[in-house]
Amino acid sequence: MPSKNANPGLKPANNSAEPNYVLVIHGGAGTMSREGSTPEQRTAYRAALSRALKAGYNVLKQGGEAMDAVVAAVSVMEDCPLFNSGHGAVFNNAGKNELETSLMVSKPPASHPAMPTSRRGSSVTLITRTRNPSHLARALYLAPELAPHPMLSGATAESIGASLGVRQVDPSYFWTEARWREHRRGLGLPEEPVEYPRPESPGDADSETTDVASFSDDKDKELWEPLDLMPTGTVGAVALDIRGCIAALTSTGGRTNKLVGRVGDTPVMGCGFWAEEWKRDGGFVKRSWDRLRGKSKYEGVGVSGTGDGDYYIRRAAASNIARRMQYLGESLAEATQNVIDDLFNEGGMGGIIALDKDGNVALPLNCSGMYRGVIRPDGVPLTGIFFDDQLNEL
C-alpha cells in the first residue's frame, strides 16, 4: 500500500496575532478496515478520540503547559479499552501486560524554569502496576533528583513513581476480554473458557494496589471490540502551547504476543518519540522576513510514532524527521512523509503524528488506518480512522 500524508499540510487556522496552540493525537495504526467494522464501532473510536482531544484542549486553552496537555489526552486513551495502552493493552507471549511510555519536551516547561535544558524527557518500560503510565513518565521527568536517567524499567521505575504519588493497581486491572482472546488466538490456543484474572495481592491493603477493575460491573466496556487485529500500535499526543513549547508523549502495551522483556520503540528516545527546537538558519533578510511573519527565531518539532516499533528503532525514525527539517530544509510534511516512506520500503507498517513550532501538523501513514485527530483554538475536535479519511467533526 502506498503511504499517504493524511490531510497533508494542515495549517494553523488562527491569526498569527492570536495565541497559537494545537494538539494532535493518535490511537494506533494498523490493520483496521472500513469493511470489517460497523458504524457503531467507528463512532465509538471517534468519540474516544474526541474526548482525548478535548481533555488536552482544556489544558491548552487556559494557558497550560504542552506537557500537561499531552498527559491529559493520553490518559483518556489509556483508560479506554479500545486502545493498546493502559486498560486495553495487549499481552505478551506469557499472558502478561508489560507497558511502556515516554515524554519529551522541546524546552523546559515554564512551570519548572529551573529544569536543566539538557533534561529532555523521561521514558519507562516493562511496567506492570502503574494505572496510567503517562503519569509515571511525567512524574519521573519532574524528579531529576530521584530519576536522573532518561530511561528506567520495571520495579525501580514504579517504586519511584509510587513514592511520588503515581497511582498503582493490581496487574489484573489491565486485563480485557477482547485482548485476552486475541492473545490466545495468536498462539493457536483455545479462547474458551475465558478465565478472568484474580488479583495477585487480594489481601494487600497498602495504598491502591487492590483497585482492580470490576469486570462483572463493567461489561459494557468489553462490548467494544477493537477494530485493529493483533495490534503493534500505541497511543500518542503532541502539543504546542502558547509559550512555544512542544511536548510529545507516547504510551503502549507493545505488540501482541511479544517476547517477555521485549522493549519497543516507545521508550527509546529518537525512535518512537522526539521533541526538539533549534535556531532557524538563514541570513539577515530571511530572519527579518520570518520576524515580520510572526515566526520565532527558533524552529521546533514534536513526533509520536505508532506501528511496528522494531523498524522505528532501526531507522531512528522520530529524530530523523528533525534532522531532515534542520539540515535538508524539508518542511514538516515533507520530512514526515519521507520517513514514513522509508519505513514502508523496509517493511515497517505504521504512522506518525507531528507538529512544528508554527503549528503545522502532519499525520502520514503507510497502512490501512490510523486513529487520529487534531484540535486548535476553535475547540473543534477533528478525527479520522482509515487511510483515505479526511479529518472532520464527529
Note the pLDDT of residue 209: 39
Domain boundaries, the chain: 22-173+225-386
358 is in an annotated binding site: no
Note the pLDDT of residue 206: 41
Q: Would you put residue 347 in left (φ > 0), alpha (ψ -120 to 50) or beta?
A: left
The low-confidence residues of the chain, meaning pLDDT below 70, are: 1-18, 201-225, 228-232, 282-295
Note the pLDDT of residue 12: 66
Note the pLDDT of residue 69: 98
252 is in an annotated binding site: no
If 0-12 CB within 10 Å is exposed, 13-18 middle and 19+ buried, where does residue 283 land?
exposed
263 is in an annotated binding site: yes
CATH architecture for residues 22-173+225-386: 4-Layer Sandwich (3.60)
Distance separating alpha carbons of residues 156 and 124, to the nearest angstrom: 10
Q: What is the DSSP letter of 157?
A: H
Note the pLDDT of residue 288: 60
What sections of the chain are H helices per DSSP?
39-60, 66-78, 133-141, 154-163, 177-186, 219-222, 284-292, 309-315, 317-328, 332-345
Distance separating alpha carbons of residues 296 and 289, to the nearest angstrom: 11
306 is in an annotated binding site: yes
> Helix 66-78 vs helix 133-141: angle between axes, to the nearest 10 degrees?
160
308 is in an annotated binding site: yes
If 0-12 CB within 10 Å is exposed, 13-18 middle and 19+ buried, where does residue 186 land?
middle
Q: Do residues 301 and 224 make contact, with C-beta atoms less than 8 angstroms apart?
A: no
> Helix 39-60 vs helix 66-78: angle between axes, to the nearest 10 degrees?
150
Single pTM value for the model: 0.90
Q: Which entry of 209, 232, 234, 383 is annotated as an active-site residue?
A: 234
Note the pLDDT of residue 194: 84
Mark whether 43 is an active-site residue: no
- Which residues share a beta bridge with 31? none
Note the pLDDT of residue 221: 45
